[in-house]
Structure 1
Amino acid sequence: MTRLTPLVSILILLFLYSGCSRDPLQEPIVKSIPKTPENQSSKNAPLQNLPIESSNELIVQFKQGVSTVQKQAIRQRYEVKTYQTCNCSNQQIEKWEFKEGIDIEGRKGQITQDDVGIESVDNEFSYLMEAVTTGWIPYSQSPDLIRSRTKANNAGITIAILDTGIHLQKLPVSTPFLYNPGRNTTTLHTDIRVRRNQSPFVQSSQRPRTPCSYNGQTEISGWDFVNHDFDTFDDHGHGTKVANVIITNMENEQINNYQILPVKVMNDQGKGSYFDLICGYIYASKKESVSIINMSFGWYNTPFVLLPKLMSENTHITHITSAGNSNKNTDFYPHYPSAYPFDNVIAVGSFNEGKDGKVSFSNYGRNSVDFLSLGTAVPIEDNLGDISYAYGTSFAAPFVAVKAAKHKIDFNETPLEITNRIYTNGTPVSFPTFTKYNVIVE
């Protein structure tokens, strides 16, 4: 990971990276690996998952202290047609819709230059997950089912999964493992400042424990920002597989004092909007005992502004991100959020099944990817005991999330210390991983 501050300088450098030529370093030697169902692209193939920006929408963040009356005056000033706030979270963030045909970049520039109570402004866009759709039939999980999987009391740490949700009845476990929004027993929370060479300090949490409510719906465990309700049912399949990897490996590590917070930010086609992602991220980062956020998704080339700003501010949270599946050097073809160069971001690629090389589809980068872990033929056991196999860096990331959770529980360390400990405990290899740390995480 590259460690640069302040944020503005970082984003400028990231923008410059996206326009650079191909990596002058030798491309990694890739062993003979069968094509996977998740991605079959080569290093010369064009990038498929570029963000699709909205032509008439922006996301704004008001400055602290701006009143409701002032917000309305600001909306009128910029001729906002409609606006939307986040469910159950930060009311300083809004999505603004303008009339069709507007010069959206011109309006964004105007808002940026004016000093009228706006702290940040960003484009709204959509992105697709780099995974096939499972075709699961839409389903509704009852409140009773969700409660039966919700822990009576939270303990240790919470891992938030920003993804397509969780299909509870597809998991091989029926014991409670979900986050309880109203109950907490012990909290591990270490805060470290963005700038280096400052001592970490333990901070008591002041985050609210009150479950969120929106439009007559009340949170049980997690929230669906796509459909705006308490039911985080996974109608795609990706998020359930990610949760499965975490739960299985937590059991393998004999870790019990944890819970999972499901945050649905992508729909049944694996499509997400930036606004839903921002809202989901704020929701998760405010939850007491959330120390790890797994983000197994991404897009290429454009870093945008709000998400990296929020991630850099939440210095106590370790963000586990998938490096992407396009066999690209993301030092030069940046993939976000994995390429955000913060101490609290861990980017994970995939080694092959033989553990003697990078798998053919995995992205890599000596500055932008930290570790390789298992992202090929990852066993996924369902509630009937049947086993299928998943492929992609999406499923390598949760392996590392479990390692991060173990170190957080055992040592209550900062994200940077957790990264260093994962490196120290990784498996040294003789082949070049073409990552920052030449180890694999098993």
Structure 2
Amino acid sequence: MKLNFFLLVVLSTILVCCDSSIDESSQQVPPNEYLSDNQIVVRYKIPKDSINLDSIFRVLHVTEVSRCSCGDETLELWTIDPGSTNIEDAVSSLSEEEGAEGVEGDRQFHFEIPNAGNPNGQILNDNFTQNDITVVDNSESKVDIAIIDTGIDYYRKWEPDLFFFRTSNSISYCDGEVSGWDFVNGDNDVFDDHNHGTYVTKIITNELNKRGIGFRILPIKAFDSLGKGSYWNLVCSMNYVKKIPQISIVNASFGHYLDVKQDILKGLIQEMSQNTLIVSSSGNRGWNTDQERYFHYPSGYPEVNILSTGGFSGIPEIIEGNKITNVERASGSNFGPINIDVAAPFYDYALEFKTREDRPLLNVNVSGTSYSAALVTANVAEILQESRERGEFQIPETLKELLLSTSYISDELKSFFKGGKIIPKNPIE
């Protein structure tokens, strides 16, 4: 049973894990992805009362309608009777059906993020306190970052302790909401029972703490304890972020290879183009994502507010100016000089976790473009904060250009990543 989001654990029994290493590129190939044969993700473009839904439901044999557990009523998940209606025909005919001009639909699908090792790295028992998690009142002095992933393990010690974005004061408020939402289980508890989201968050917070950048994190759980997620969960999550104008950056360390219509998600991202930059990982198969059969999403979407991140290996050495050598594409990283904007280190993100009582808990070394994207997210946050201190407002496209202008250039990587641009962990001397 999931523990309530308001509870902070007191660990009386702790399993301290030995150092472990997790490489996303060593995971299952091909990825576990599949299309639904009976569900359609739907978005209303005009008021529902002006659409003849009864007629549409009869024609498409809709048997069930679900809504996002937190969000507005413009999004729905329709379940149809596959014995009466072919799913592909239903999706393609939706916009053609008389009276359905204000409805768009995409076929539901499912995909996974890489395994992130033993969840929690600890044994919990039933001894815990009733202390609320600490949230931060929102202001313009901090960079607000949403992380769509497996949630966050808030039982561990975090620095600073006060870093959760308070969504109870925002227009997205749902019943019981404190900070973020769990679209897997449909409640306010964003606890990470997988680990991937916790590792991504730790890289971002470590980097921002090191650089003295004030921040707030909005955790959103779209993937379950096995790393399984769906297009529906992702659409609900992105729509949730879209309703919170303070969010400047979304870290999207996930993706899939299903070449299927995704107009609803792309539309939501387009509508965020004046406010929010999406930093997306590009995948860990070593595939050329410029080739149609290996397209990766959402990193391959053409929207101007997506910053796609690959991974490099090696220790960069300066040739002159911002030109460097001694780097190569990490063998596990996807590549594509058209679709991937920048590369960051792929390997060896060393993370140390402690209990809330400051006792050693877990040391882990993670690798993969999920974590490359997390590093780039931290760099974007730093650039955004510096711009604000100069009194400048940057739209996401300009913020992306500023990030790329700070990159180093590798001639060896120009055939793998756009312009051969890389972002190292530390300045190169």
Structure 2 length normalisation: TM-score?
0.81
Q: Which amino acid aligns with 2:203?
A: V
Greater mean alpha carbon deviation, residues 426-435 or residues 77-86: 426-435
* Counterparts of 1:210 and 1:326, CA distance in 2: 36
- SS of 1:397 mapped into structure 2: helix
1:260 matched to which residue of 2? 217
Deviations 1:31-59 (A, max 9, x none): xxxx9632238xxxx96126311111111
1:423 matched to which residue of 2? 404
* Counterparts of 1:119 and 1:410, CA distance in 2: 42
1:351 matched to which residue of 2? 312
1:22 matched to which residue of 2? none
Per-residue deviation, 1:133: 4.2
Q: How does 1:24-423 map to 2 (within 5 A)?
A: 37-40=23-26, 48-49=30-31, 51-67=33-49, 70-72=52-54, 74-101=56-83, 102-117=85-100, 118-136=102-120, 145=131, 147-155=132-140, 156-173=142-159, 175-183=161-169, 209=171, 211-213=173-175, 218-256=176-214, 258-303=215-260, 304-315=262-273, 316-332=275-291, 333-355=294-316, 356-383=327-354, 384-385=359-360, 386-411=362-387, 412-423=393-404
Deviations 1:361-394 (A, max 9, x none): 0011111101111221101121245531101100
* Counterparts of 2:127 and 2:36, CA distance in 1: 32
Per-residue deviation, 1:71: 3.9
* Structure 2 portions without partners, runs of 5+: 1-20, 317-326, 388-392, 425-429
User: Contact between 1:377 and 1:391, CA under 8 Å: does it hold in 2?
Assistant: yes
* Counterparts of 1:273 and 1:143, CA distance in 2: 34
- SS of 2:307 mapped into structure 1: strand
4+ residue runs of structure 1 moved beyond 6 angstroms?
137-143
Per-residue deviation, 1:109: 2.1
* Counterparts of 1:122 and 1:250, CA distance in 2: 37
* Counterparts of 2:347 and 2:193, CA distance in 1: 23
* Structure 1 portions without partners, runs of 5+: 1-34, 184-207
From the superposition, tell whether residues 142 and 266 of structure 1 become closer, same or farther in structure 2 (CA, over 3 Å). Answer: farther
User: Contact between 1:423 and 1:437, CA under 8 Å: does it hold in 2?
Assistant: no
Greater mean alpha carbon deviation, residues 312-321 or residues 347-356: 347-356
* Counterparts of 2:29 and 2:98, CA distance in 1: 37
* Counterparts of 1:61 and 1:419, CA distance in 2: 29
User: Contact between 1:79 and 1:98, CA under 8 Å: does it hold in 2?
Assistant: yes
* Counterparts of 1:95 and 1:327, CA distance in 2: 34
From the superposition, tell whether residues 141 and 247 of structure 1 become closer, same or farther in structure 2 (CA, over 3 Å). Answer: farther
Greater mean alpha carbon deviation, residues 116-125 or residues 52-61: 116-125
1:193 matched to which residue of 2? none
Root mean square deviation of aligned Cα: 2.5
From the superposition, tell whether residues 78 and 100 of structure 1 become closer, same or farther in structure 2 (CA, over 3 Å). Answer: closer
Number of matched pairs: 374
* Counterparts of 2:38 and 2:272, CA distance in 1: 30
* Counterparts of 2:130 and 2:109, CA distance in 1: 35
User: Contact between 2:335 and 2:417, CA under 8 Å: does it hold in 1?
Assistant: yes
Q: Which amino acid aligns with 2:238?
A: Y
- SS of 2:165 mapped into structure 1: coil
* Counterparts of 1:168 and 1:49, CA distance in 2: 29
Deviations 1:173-203 (A, max 9, x none): 25110111244xxxxxxxxxxxxxxxxxxxx
* Counterparts of 2:312 and 2:336, CA distance in 1: 14
Structure 1 length normalisation: TM-score?
0.79
* Counterparts of 1:243 and 1:59, CA distance in 2: 29
* Counterparts of 1:154 and 1:235, CA distance in 2: 30
From the superposition, tell whether residues 422 and 437 of structure 1 become closer, same or farther in structure 2 (CA, over 3 Å). Answer: farther
Per-residue deviation, 1:77: 4.4
- SS of 1:319 mapped into structure 2: strand
- SS of 2:111 mapped into structure 1: strand
Per-residue deviation, 1:420: 1.6
* Counterparts of 2:152 and 2:421, CA distance in 1: 31
Per-residue deviation, 1:395: 0.3
Which structure carries more relative contact order (alpha carbon 8 Å, separation 6+)?
A: 1
Per-residue deviation, 1:431: 2.4
From the superposition, tell whether residues 47 and 331 of structure 1 become closer, same or farther in structure 2 (CA, over 3 Å). Answer: farther
- SS of 1:39 mapped into structure 2: helix
Q: Which amino acid aligns with 2:217?
A: I
From the superposition, tell whether residues 391 and 114 of structure 1 become closer, same or farther in structure 2 (CA, over 3 Å). Answer: same
- SS of 1:64 mapped into structure 2: coil
* Counterparts of 1:293 and 1:115, CA distance in 2: 37
User: Contact between 1:226 and 1:265, CA under 8 Å: does it hold in 2?
Assistant: yes
Identity across aligned pairs (percent)?
Answer: 27
